[in-house]
Structure 1
């Protein structure tokens, strides 16, 4: 088992020492309040320790060499810019909803980029980061499955800004360039092009990207403009058509890159799930105690 902590080990050590001190103080009070209080102290302490272990990111496979200070460079940074406006709820002539096609295409593209890190930026009239850049595809899968068209006035066809995600994408690319300087950046834009919109449209001024495509599920004119802004090919998604396949330079880090490492299986999610379960139990017991105390105060005569 290897570790790839989200914070420097020294910081995690300081947090661990502080936690031990605080829980030791709480232990004195719990020990004098009976077995139930001591049991609750134990479950809360275990939950906190599990979160610390999760922050150390245990896993199997290669990790960053201790003291190197450099993130892993294997694989590409892949950004999915997804149109979740009312237009994505439309059903095309083949009887399939556009959003359903988008989810299917995203799943296929994830498979086509093994070892990559992925991010999901959704938009309608405004952008939102649905999934920050991460190589955890196991947790990403349910996020993609849950992508549905937004509801409400801000998602209406007349209010859609096809370039709403431009600034968010630009800053994400800048951050990725600083964190993963040797990794290629790929952008896949999936949208309808806001053909009925009456609001000003944003412009993608992100600088050059290393690959990807603009995948069209509706009006082509605006989408071709976006493809030109990003320097990417435009691909109209039709029935039975294959997605563009990334070449080897796009799909992975540069050959021979000394920072590149083998894939790594993360286990942090198991520790966070256990911690969440223990904390939910504590929240339930605390809420029950508060309700009982309130009921007791009401019963006491004034």
Structure 2
């Protein structure tokens, strides 16, 4: 037999000591008299049995059982998505926004790694983990479908430093919790960096990365970007303006930055201005091969509560019957 406590052991132990101490004091107070009847002794014995069994159930008595289950795929895929305003630049596949390519490529990669776990980290003015590692592809598809650039009013320019720490944290947590899993990172960006400071290197993250790619979007000629305001108060058909010239701002993809990011992470990189076959960036990670066995035996604890709870219920009914008769005698 093993145990799966319903509360942390220290808290359970402290609670048990306090409850047993109070119970012992109450029992001693009622039973210390030499005139204590046999019925009262039986009553306190019954109550003691209820208390001990309840505390025992709280420890989660279990037996270990072997079960056959489908082995999970030990492959974690991280999608890191640039949502800054520049990703709305209309220089992908003609005059489509760069995010159009991102949506299509995320959908393709999700299908390529069917059965893997996926996580989404996005960054704009801030970085956040939009979705923890999950196999829920419906939720993933919903996020991809609704992917848009950040709200223009809150835009603070482009900086890859914003996502570095969030990605580092996610990868380190994944490596700690599932050290045998393989981790693949796909960074979707145009490489643009509008800050004056030199960005931090992504090289320290490479130790946690087993594959993936830096997928760049846009052209060296650049494209205009429409504003985005989901509230409906702004005009999302207007183009973002260059504050210096007053003309529509132009975002140019930074091919050198995309290459540098790939080198630092130890993964290939590419700059795309049209739909591209991504098979070269997913080869070698066949989820069916990464799963070593189709099924596996696992040992899981199975709670066995019903025998003890049945006894507790019987004792409680006995206590209720006794209390009812006692009250009736007092009334009579």
TM superposition score normalised by structure 2: 0.53
Q: Distance in 2 between matches of 1:261 and 1:198?
A: 54
Q: 1:190: which partner in 2? A: 188
Q: 1:293: which partner in 2? A: none
Q: Distance in 2 between matches of 1:165 and 1:231?
A: 17
Unmatched 5+ stretches in structure 1? 1-7, 13-64, 263-302
Unmatched 5+ stretches in structure 2? 8-63, 218-252, 297-332
CA offsets 1:270-295 (integer angstroms, 9 cap, x no match)? xxxxxxxxxxxxxxxxxxxxxxxxxx
Contact 1:121–1:127 (Cα < 8 Å) also in 2: yes
Q: Greater Rg, structure 1 or structure 2?
A: 2
Q: 1:166: which partner in 2? A: 164
Determine which of 237, 241, 256 is the counterpart of 2:276: 241
Q: Distance in 2 between matches of 1:178 and 1:67?
A: 26
Shift of 1:74: 1.0
Q: Distance in 2 between matches of 1:250 and 1:101?
A: 22
RMSD: 3.1
Shift of 1:82: 0.5
CA offsets 1:209-265 (integer angstroms, 9 cap, x no match)? 11100001121111111111100101111324211445564242765635x759xxx
Q: 2:174: which partner in 1? A: 176
Q: 1:83: which partner in 2? A: 82
Q: Distance in 1 between matches of 2:273 and 2:66?
A: 50
Q: Distance in 2 between matches of 1:216 and 1:248?
A: 19
SS at match of 1:164: helix
TM superposition score normalised by structure 1: 0.58
Q: Does 1:107 align with 2:107?
A: yes
Paired residues, number: 199
Tell which deviates more after alignment, 242-251 or 87-96: 242-251
Cα gap change, 1:247/1:101 in structure 2, threshold over 3 Å: closer, same or farther?
closer
Q: 2:254: which partner in 1? A: 219
Cα gap change, 1:199/1:117 in structure 2, threshold over 3 Å: closer, same or farther?
same
Determine which of 252, 258, 263 is the counterpart of 1:228: 263
Q: Distance in 2 between matches of 1:76 and 1:225?
A: 25
Cα gap change, 1:255/1:190 in structure 2, threshold over 3 Å: closer, same or farther?
closer
Shift of 1:128: 0.9
Shift of 1:102: 0.5
SS at match of 2:188: strand
Considering fraction of residues, name the structure with more strand.
2
Q: 2:285: which partner in 1? A: 250
Shift of 1:72: 5.9
Contact 2:159–2:193 (Cα < 8 Å) also in 1: no
Contact 1:183–1:252 (Cα < 8 Å) also in 2: no
